[in-house]
Amino acid sequence: MKSYLAFLKKELLEYSRTFKLWILIVVFLLLGLMNPLTAKFTPELFENFMPEGMTITIAETTILDCWMQFFKNVPQLGIIVLIIMFSGIMANELSRQTLVIMLTKGMPRLTVILAKFTTAGLLWTVCYWLSFAVTLLYGEVFWTDTTVSNLGVAVFVVWVFGLLLISALILGGVLFRNYYGSLLLTGTVVVVMFLINIPRQIARFSPIRLVSVNMELLSGTITASDIYRPLAVTVVLLLAFLGLSIIVFNKKKI
C-alpha cells in the first residue's frame, strides 16, 4: 500500500510537471464552455451571415441542443485528446527504462499498473466532470427550461467508456512497449466495438452505445435500463484489460 501511494504521488507529479494535467484541464474546460455557447449562438450567427433577402426559420434552441453539443464534443474531441495524452502511459517508462530502479527495489509490478490506472482515471474524472459542470452551469444560465430525462445516466456512461479506453491504452503499452502499440490496440478495440454495433442482435451489447445513444436517453426515446447491458460489457472488458495487463506485465522482460 505504501508503495502504491508513493507511485501514485509520483504519477500525479509527473502529469503536473510535464504540463499534461494542465493541458487536459484547459481542453476540457474549453469543451465544456463551447457546448452551451455554440448551441445558443449558432442560430444568431446563421441569421447574421445570411445573404440579403434570404430568410430561414430556425427553431428556438433548447437545452437539448446544448447537451447534443456536449455528447458530440466530449466523447469525440475530448476522448481523442485523452487518448493522445495517455498514449505514453506505459511506453514512456518501458522504453526509457525508468521502471528498472523502481522494480528492483521490490515494488510489486501489480502496483505499477494499478497506480497508473488510478492516476489516469482520476485525471479523466476531474477533467470530464469539470467539462460537464461548466456545460450544466451555462445551460442553467442560457435556458429557462432545463429538464431532461436520464441526464445522470447519460453522462455517467461516457465516463465509464473513458475508463475503458484508459485500460486499453495500458494493455497496449504493456504488450508492445511503445506509443503506437497503445494507440493501435485502443484503435482496434474501438473499431471492433463499432463493428459489433451494426448487427442488430449483438448491437445492444456494444460498449459504443455508451457514447452513441446519449441523446436518445435524454429525449426519453430509450430508458436507462436499455444501457445496462453495454454498460456491464464495458465494465467486464475494463476489468479484463486491467487483469490481462497485470498478467502480461508480470511476465515481461524489463
Partner 1 sequence: MNILKIDHLAKRFGSNEILKDVSLNVPEHSIYGFIGQNGSGKTTTMKIILGLLSKDRGNITVCGEEAKYGQTKTNRFIGYLPDVPEYYNYMNPREYLQLCGQITGMDQKKIAAGTKELLSLVGLEQAAKKRIGGFSRGMKQRLGIAQALLNQPRLLICDEPTSALDPVGRKEILDILNTVKDKTTVLFSTHILSDVERICDHIAILNDGTIAINGALNEIKEKHGTDSLQIEFEMEGDCGQFERLYQTHFGVVTEKIDSRTICIQALEIEKTQSEVLGILYQNKLMPLAVQRKKPTLENVFLEVVK
| Residues in contact with partner 1 by the rule CB under 8 A | 2-3, 5-7, 9-10, 13-14, 17-18, 96-98, 100-109, 250-251, 253-254
Residue 168 CB, nearest approach to partner 1 (Å): 24
Residue 87 CB, nearest approach to partner 1 (Å): 18
Length of the chain: 254
Q: Where are the alpha helices (DSSP H) in 177-199?
A: 179-195
Which one, 177 or 209, has the nearer CB to partner 1? 177
Residue 96 CB, nearest approach to partner 1 (Å): 5
Which one, 14 or 216, has the nearer CB to partner 1? 14
Task: Give the number of C-alpha atoms closer than 13 A to the C-alpha of residue 193, restricted to the C-beta side.
Answer: 23
Which one, 15 or 241, has the nearer CB to partner 1? 15
Task: Write the CB contacts of 74 (distance below 8 Å, at least 6 apart in sequence).
Answer: 28, 31, 128, 131, 132, 158
Which one, 9 or 204, has the nearer CB to partner 1? 9
Fill in the amino acid letter for 86: F
Residue 125 CB, nearest approach to partner 1 (Å): 23
Residue 147 CB, nearest approach to partner 1 (Å): 47
Which one, 105 or 200, has the nearer CB to partner 1? 105
Residue 247 CB, nearest approach to partner 1 (Å): 11
Residue 101 CB, nearest approach to partner 1 (Å): 6
Cβ contacts of 103-107, under 8 Å, gap ≥ 24:
103/254, 107/3, 107/7
Which one, 31 or 112, has the nearer CB to partner 1? 112
CB crowding 207-234: b at 16 or more within 10 Å, else e:
bbbbbbbbbbbbeeebeeebbeebbebb
CA–CA distance from 132 to each of 40, 78, 92, 164, 235 (Å)?
A: 17, 12, 30, 19, 22
Helix H, strand E, coil C: the string for 174-232 is HHHCCHHHHHHHHHHHHHHHHHCCCCHHHHCCCHHHHHCCHHHHHHCCCCHHHHHHHHH
The radius of gyration of the chain's CA atoms, rounded to the nearest angstrom, is 21
Q: What are phi and psi of 88, to 5 degrees?
A: -95, 15
Which one, 67 or 249, has the nearer CB to partner 1? 249
